[in-house]
Structures are given as structure tokens and as C-alpha cells.
Structure 1
């Protein structure tokens, strides 16, 4: 089994972990808000100290690749690429929505024919989302969707869909269908990246460290703050 450093910064939660022999050896998480710039480097340094103390040679770095927070993704990918260059190890990208879907499957039991719809909060009633079957095949492709009472209604009429992620909370009142299941408390975490990262490692699915960019999905739009009247 490979030894992998995992980095997840796609939402307001910042987390990093080290896995070895298919299990988490150490991990660090912060749920108190977007403090990725100040926390992630500290977490990675602590992981490197742990790996040196335990004699663990890092084989790869995995990073959650989006979609999600523009700033968070940029910080996470920059840290991951720096580690790969310094350690001379390959880079693995883990799609954030697949990570959420996989986490929902592992933490809950549902019948085989359900579909999984992870949602990452965007602006207003918009979410970054997709729909997967239980083998993580796309049923609805990754996209930015504005949610209303008709969203995914054609699928919901015939299949049960499990909604999760921080974007699903605001959609609960809009998607009122007998086949809609909402699971709370699912956030993307580094500790849940193992299965997808190890599968990519076994299959030799590595990114070009020099040219890899996060999957932002939408272009970042900077806004000018309004002048305050003193």
C-alpha cells in the first residue's frame, strides 16, 4: 500500500492527513472557517515530522481538485505541488464531488439502485453538483446548477437520490420529492480521500505537477468593495 499525504481545502474546512497501509496514520482538521492559508502549511509540516519520526517514506500527494472555493482550491493545489516537487513524488487529483459521494456511501447504507447527488454551496440557490450511481459513473455531469422545485425531477420520479454536502441544506426546501433523501454532516475531508487516491495510485493516474490546475468550474470574479461613508 502506498504512503500518501492527502490535502482537502475545497470548502471552509481545512484538512490534511497521512495514510499508510490503507489506514490514516495522522490527520489535522479545522472546521472554524476559511483559514487555509495560515493552517495548511502547519498541518503539512506536522505530517512531515510524523513521517520522519516513524520512518514513513511518502509515495505520493493527493489533493482535492474541485469544484469548490476558488481560494481554497488554489491554496491546496499550490501546497500539494510544492510537496511533490520537494519530495519528488507524483501528484494525484481527487474530484471533490466524487469524494463527497464516496463519503456518503461509506457512512450510510442505501439500497443498490439509489443515486448520489453531492452538492457544494455556490451563490444564492446555485450549487456545484453532479449525480452518480453507486459505481461513481456520471448520471448527470458535473456542473453549476440553479436549484428549484423541478431540479432532477425526471430522475426523482423513478429513482431515489441521496443529497449531501454543504449545498444540499439550502436545497432541502426546494426539492420536496418523495424520493429525495437528505444526509447531513457530510463535508469533504482529507481522511476520506484514501479510497479514491489509492485507486488512482494503483492505476497510475497521476497529474503533470508543473501544469496541473484545480477544476474551478466557474471563472473567479473579483469584486470591488463598496466605499464606506465615515
Structure 2
């Protein structure tokens, strides 16, 4: 089953093309260059390198955030345009879950973090399962170090792009309960979102209707943020 996945919720956007569990290609645009034209050009390059076209896809997956409001709108617009245009199913995957799926197995809890600006970060907590994966322990929410600290009662591994901003303050607040995860796990990889979407489809947890795929904002969008450019060909 051929899957195209994209996640534009953070400055480090990620795209991936899979055939079942196998990765056919990946792309990561320059940080901060995520806009509609860049995303669609990277999609075209990935498909062309694999000798495929959009109609050859079986499924499209997209990151739901939370993260940059503009980035989310651009990613959703591109993914929905491709899905509707080629009549392909679309499944959304929360970006904090995609981060967790990129973390190697651990025997300690995990917390994934994305900067939310305005003195907060988005976070979700996970517990290790017996199969080497991660089980969600709560819904994603907006926190600051002071409000999160009472929720962390044991050594917890932290990963995510939000640590570029929050690692020092979290470490100071949590002490030995803060364990810095590997830097290579700090950015969401679309290949993990693709596999999550395949699992959801196999379990019947999503019907693939693009109209049902909505961004996970958590906080109301900042109305001062400029609207994205229209997606050409969407």
C-alpha cells in the first residue's frame, strides 16, 4: 500500500513516501521554508523519484499538530487538495504522537514537547508498552514548566523541537526527573505518521474522509498570523 505523508506543524517540515512499511523516499525542506509551493514541489520530487504519480497512491497521511497555526493550515490544505483531487483517503495523525513513534523503546515514561509560544509548550505523555511502543497517558495540552512539574513524578524522557526553548527551564524545575532524550528524536518524521495512518486504517479507526480531518490547535489560532498562500493545483 503506497502512502504519502506530510507534517508541517513545526519549522522542520517532513514528507515521506512509503510502500507498506518500506520507505521509498523522504524529504525535509529547509527550516522555516514551509509554504504551499515548497510542500507541493517536494511531493512532486518524491513521487517522481519513485516513478509514481498522485493517482498511484493508496493513502495520504497528514500531521494534525499542534504546532504552527500557519504551518498546519498549509499542510492540511495541501493534503486535502491532493486527496480530493485524486479521490484518495486522508488520515490525520497528531504530531506529538508522531514524535513518540520516533523514540526508541524505553522503560521510562516519555513526554513529547512542541513550543507553543506565549510562554507555553504543547506536550503529551506516554508510557512504554510491552511491544516496544508507547501508550498515550493523557490528551495533548498546553503547559508551562510550573504547571507541568507536579504531573511528572518519576524519571521521564523528554523529546521534541520544543526543547530547544524549554529544556533548561524544565531541567531546573524537574531536576533528576528530567531526562533529555536523543537529539535525533526531536523532530517529527512523516514516515512514522504514515505507519500510524496505516494502522488506523487497518483497525477501522478512520474512514479516510478528508472533510473529517481537522487540525489539532489546542489553543485558538492567533488571528494576527498571516493567512497562507493558496495551494496551486489543490
Bucket of the pairwise TM-score, normalised by the shorter protein: 0.7 to 0.9
Q: How does 1:50-199 map to 2 (within 5 A)?
A: 50-53=49-52, 57-104=56-103, 106=104, 109-111=105-107, 114-135=108-129, 136-148=134-146, 151-156=148-153, 159-176=154-171, 177-183=175-181, 184-185=183-184, 186-199=186-199
TM-score, normalisation: structure 2: 0.82
Sort the Cα spacing of 1:180 and 1:219 in 2 relative to 1 into closer, same or farther, 3 A.
same
Sort the Cα spacing of 1:30 and 1:160 in 2 relative to 1 into closer, same or farther, 3 A.
same
Sort the Cα spacing of 1:44 and 1:179 in 2 relative to 1 into closer, same or farther, 3 A.
same
Sort the Cα spacing of 1:221 and 1:56 in 2 relative to 1 into closer, same or farther, 3 A.
closer
Secondary structure of the equivalent of 2:198? helix
Secondary structure of the equivalent of 2:199? helix
The structure where helix makes up a greater share of residues is 2
- Structure 1 residue 126: deviation in Å? 0.6
- Structure 1 residue 211: deviation in Å? 4.2
The answer to whether the 8 A contact 1:16-1:29 is kept is: yes
TM-score, normalisation: structure 1: 0.83
The answer to whether the 8 A contact 1:160-1:181 is kept is: yes
Distance, in Å, in 2 between the alignment partners of 1:182 and 1:72 is: 26
Secondary structure of the equivalent of 2:148? coil
Runs of 4+ in 1 over 6 A off after TM superposition: none
Distance, in Å, in 2 between the alignment partners of 1:122 and 1:51 is: 36
Unmatched tracts of structure 2, length 5 or more: 227-234
Query: Which structure has the bigger radius of gyration?
Result: 1
Sort the Cα spacing of 1:54 and 1:5 in 2 relative to 1 into closer, same or farther, 3 A.
closer
Query: What residue is the counterpart of 1:38 in the other structure?
Result: 37
CA RMSD of aligned residues (A): 2.5
The answer to whether the 8 A contact 2:6-2:16 is kept is: yes
Secondary structure of the equivalent of 2:110? strand
Secondary structure of the equivalent of 1:98? helix
The higher relative CO (CA closer than 8 Å, separation ≥ 6) is in 2
Query: What residue is the counterpart of 2:10 in the other structure?
Result: 11
How many residues align? The count is 216
Distance, in Å, in 1 between the alignment partners of 2:31 and 2:57 is: 29
Q: Which whole-Å deviations, capped at 9, do the CAs of 1:15-68 have from their partners, x for residues lacking one?
A: 211100311101211233243323101011223334545999311000011111
- Structure 1 residue 198: deviation in Å? 1.9
Distance, in Å, in 1 between the alignment partners of 2:225 and 2:35 is: 23
